[in-house]
Amino acid sequence: MAVALPKDLRQDASLAKRRHAEQCRQKRVFNARNRIIGGDTEAWDVQVHDQKIKEATEKARHETFAAEMKQNDKVMCILENRIKRDRKNLCRAISDFRQSFQKPETRREFDLSDPLALKKDLPARQSDNDIRNTISGMQKFMGEDLNFHERKKFQEEQNREWSLQQQREWKNACGERKCAEALSTETRLQFDETAKHLQKLESTTRKAVCASVKDFNKRQAIESVERKKQEKKQEQEDNLAEITNLLRGDLLSENPQQAASSFGPHRVVPDRWKGMTQEQLEQIRLVQKQQVQEKLRLQEEKHQRDLDWDRRRIQGARATLLFERQQRQQQRNLRKALDSSNLTLAKEQHLQKKYMNEVYTNQPTGDYFTQFNTGSR
């Protein structure tokens, strides 16, 4: 059996320590989160532990508060029940006291609600002159007095006297009515005679008025006929004067001066203007001829200018076409030179690759690339 020497033990311990340090280093290096972001995991663990202790303390504190609240709720329920019981006992004591010492018949206003008040009360009145029969009491009305029979007998006697008096008054009224009717008949006959006389006077007056009106209307008709004749004659004279003035006026005689405007010699009055004179027409024709000649000259100049621009444009197009041909020829030459250079480079690269394949025969495999990034160093 082999015996482990102290030197071997130290070497094993040193080797194990280095191996553990290497594993810890690999954890730190190969962990992309810690390598890129960074952070103290031990401090984070301590913070998480402290947070858990704090949450546990808060939970215990809340549980203590909840237990105290439950205890307080129980105490409040006991106190409320006690207050209700005391209030109930007090109400019962007050009710017993009222039934024993505050009876209705001992109250000062008991007479207002006494059920036997009608039996104890006096009659409404004892005589017609009772002092309790006030106006507002409404205990005595007309015809309800105690001496009703004597009063009724007196009223019958009084009605008989009134009836006899009415008969006498009716007879006197009939006699007065007959006298009035006779007087009315006599007065109406007098009125009829007066009306006949007035009607005759009115007829005579109407005939006289009609004759006067007839004479007046006849005179008015004669005057109206004479006035119309004078008006027609005056109208004919006015029309004749107006026709004469129009025939001799500037409008029909076509005087060119009548169309002259007061705003200037170059303006005319449209409703009086009869057209231009021969001199004005000749002047207008002369100006039109000058305008036609000027327009022909401008058209000729424009035609020459267009021909010049067309010639210049054709020359520019020819120059551009020659320049483009020259550019395309240069591009073809450059492309041929570039193709020749690329062909030469391709041949050289092919020869170099063939030479490298002959020199470097040991090609790397997949195991060569997997040996990287396996240690922390």
Do 143 and 149 touch, CB atoms closer than 8 A?
no
* Residue 343 scores a pLDDT above 90: yes
Is residue 310 in some structural domain? Answer: yes
Is residue 18 in some structural domain? Answer: no
pLDDT value of position 105: 78
Band (314; pLDDT cuts 50, 70, 90): very high
Nearest to 225 by CA among 213, 217, 236: 217
Is residue 116 in some structural domain? Answer: no
pLDDT digits over 268-284, tens only?
666 666 667 778 788 88
Is residue 82 in some structural domain? Answer: yes
pLDDT value of position 6: 67
* Residue 170 scores a pLDDT above 70: yes
The letter for the amino acid at 265 is: P
Band (376; pLDDT cuts 50, 70, 90): low
Token readout for 52 is 């858990």
pLDDT value of position 348: 92
**Cβ contacts of residue 34 below 8 Å, gap of 6+?**
28, 41
Is residue 274 in some structural domain? Answer: no
pLDDT digits over 149-167, tens only?
788 888 888 898 898 999 9
pLDDT digits over 345-369, tens only?
999 998 988 888 777 777 667 777 7
Nearest to 205 by CA among 216, 217, 193, 213: 213
pLDDT digits over 131-153, tens only?
777 767 666 666 666 677 788 88
pLDDT value of position 293: 94
What is residue 212's three-state secondary structure? Answer: helix
Give the chain's domain count.
2
Is residue 2 in some structural domain? Answer: no
- Answer whether 0.75 is exceeded by the pTM: no
* Residue 79 scores a pLDDT above 60: yes
* DSSP track, 167-196: HHHHHHHHHHHHHHHHHHHHHHHHHHHHHH
Give mean pLDDT, residues 240-266: 68
CA distance linking residue 53 with residue 64, whole number of Å: 16
* DSSP track, 276-309: --HHHHHHHHHHHHHHHHHHHHHHHHHHHHHHHH
pLDDT value of position 131: 72
CA distance linking residue 166 with residue 330, whole number of Å: 160
HSE of 313 in the Cβ direction (CA atoms, 13 Å)? 6
**Cβ contacts of residue 356 below 8 Å, gap of 6+?**
none
CA distance linking residue 259 with residue 267, whole number of Å: 9
Instruction: Report which of residues 81 and 109 the model is more confident about.
Output: 81
* DSSP track, 64-105: HHHHHHHHHHHHHHHHHHHHHHHHHHHHHHHHHHHHHH--GG
HSE of 124 in the Cβ direction (CA atoms, 13 Å)? 9
Token readout for 298 is 């401008």
Pairing, β 260-261 against β 264-268: antiparallel
Range of the domain at 70: 62-93
Is residue 250 in some structural domain? Answer: no
Percent of the chain at pLDDT exceeding 90 = 29
Do 164 and 182 touch, CB atoms closer than 8 A?
no
Is residue 313 in some structural domain? Answer: yes
Mean per-residue pLDDT of the chain: 83
Band (1; pLDDT cuts 50, 70, 90): very low
pLDDT digits over 21-50, tens only?
888 888 777 776 666 666 666 777 888 889
Phi, psi for residue 260 in degrees, rounded to 5: -70, 135
Phi-psi region of 141 (alpha: psi -120 to 50; beta: other; left: phi over 0): beta
113, with CB counted inside 10 A (0-12, 13-18, 19+), is: exposed
Q: Is the Cα dihedral 263, 265, 271, 272 positive or negative?
A: positive
